C-alpha cells in the first residue's frame, strides 16, 4: 500500500528525471538545415529588417561557408563568364527575393528531410505591403550533404508568380554569348 509520502516521492523523482533529460538534451546543431536557415533569417530580420541576406554570398569565404561545392563552382564559372564591368547573373538578394530587403518576420517549414537532402521553405513578411502574389513571399532552400556538412545547393522563389532558381540562373548565364 502506498503512503502519501511514497506517492509524493515517486512523483518528485519522475519530475526530476524528466527535467534532467531536458537539461541534458543536445541543443539544435548549427549543421542542421532548419538551424542554418533560421540563423540566416534571424540575422536578416535584425533592426529594421533591411540588411538582407547578401552576407551568404558576399565573398568566396561566405559562399564556401553556406553553399555546396558544386554551387560555388557553378557561381565561379558564371562570374568568370560575365564580361568585365557587367553585373553578374545574380543581381538581387535571393534571401529576401528583392532589391530592397524587408524582413519583419519569417516562418520555416521543412518540406523534405532525409539523410542527404533537405528542402526548407521560408515565408517572409515585411514592413511594407506584401507582394500581389503570395508565392513571391516564399523562398526555398535545397540542401545537400557536402563532406558531412549541410550546404545550400539551390535557392528558389518566384517574382510576380514566375519561378526562379539561383542554380538555373547561373546555368543560363553560361549559355549567353559574350
Task: Note down pLDDT in tens along the chain; length 178 residues.
Answer: 445 544 444 444 444 444 433 334 444 455 899 999 999 999 999 988 899 999 999 999 999 999 999 999 999 999 999 998 898 899 999 999 999 999 999 999 999 999 999 999 999 999 999 999 999 999 999 999 999 999 999 999 999 999 999 999 999 999 987 6
**Could you give the CA distance from residue 115 to residue 95 in angstroms, rounded to a whole number?**
24
Q: Using DSSP, state whether 120 is helix, strand or coil.
A: strand
Residues 133-148 pLDDT 10s:
999 999 999 999 999 9
Q: Using DSSP, state whether 118 is helix, strand or coil.
A: strand
User: Could you tell me the residue ranges of all domains in the chain?
Assistant: 28-175
Q: Give yes or no for a contact between 142 and 149, defined as CB atoms under 8 angstroms apart.
A: no
Q: Using DSSP, state whether 11 is helix, strand or coil.
A: helix
pTM greater than 0.85: no
Topology (CATH) of 28-175: Nuclear Transport Factor 2; Chain: A, (3.10.450)
Predicted pLDDT of residue 3: 52
Predicted pLDDT of residue 22: 38
Mean pLDDT, the chain, as a whole number? 86
Residues 71-97 pLDDT 10s:
999 999 999 999 988 988 999 999 999
**30, three cell numbers:** 548549427
**Could you give the CA distance from residue 44 to residue 48 in angstroms, rounded to a whole number?**
9
**Could you give the CA distance from residue 125 to residue 98 in angstroms, rounded to a whole number?**
12
Amino acid at each position: 500500500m502506498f503512503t502519501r509520502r511514497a506517492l509524493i516521492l515517486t512523483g518528485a523523482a519522475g519530475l526530476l528525471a524528466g527535467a534532467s533529460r531536458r537539461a541534458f538534451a543536445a541543443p539544435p546543431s548549427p549543421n542542421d538545415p532548419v538551424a542554418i536557415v533560421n540563423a540566416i533569417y534571424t540575422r536578416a530580420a535584425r533592426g529594421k529588417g533591411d540588411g538582407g541576406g547578401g552576407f551568404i554570398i558576399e565573398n568566396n569565404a561566405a559562399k564556401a561557408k553556406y553553399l555546396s561545392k558544386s554551387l560555388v563552382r557553378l557561381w565561379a564559372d558564371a562570374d568568370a563568364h560575365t564580361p568585365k564591368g557587367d553585373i553578374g547573373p545574380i543581381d538581387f538578394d535571393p534571401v529576401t527575393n528583392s532589391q530592397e530587403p524587408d524582413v519583419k518576420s519569417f516562418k520555416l517549414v521543412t518540406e523534405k528531410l532525409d539523410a542527404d537532402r533537405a528542402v526548407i521553405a521560408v515565408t517572409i513578411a515585411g514592413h511594407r505591403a506584401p507582394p500581389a502574389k503570395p508565392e513571391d513571399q516564399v523562398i526555398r532552400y535545397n540542401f545537400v550533404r557536402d563532406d558531412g556538412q549541410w550546404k545550400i545547393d539551390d535557392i528558389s522563389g518566384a517574382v510576380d508568380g514566375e519561378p526562379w532558381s539561383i542554380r538555373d540562373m547561373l546555368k543560363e548565364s553560361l549559355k549567353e554569348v559574350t
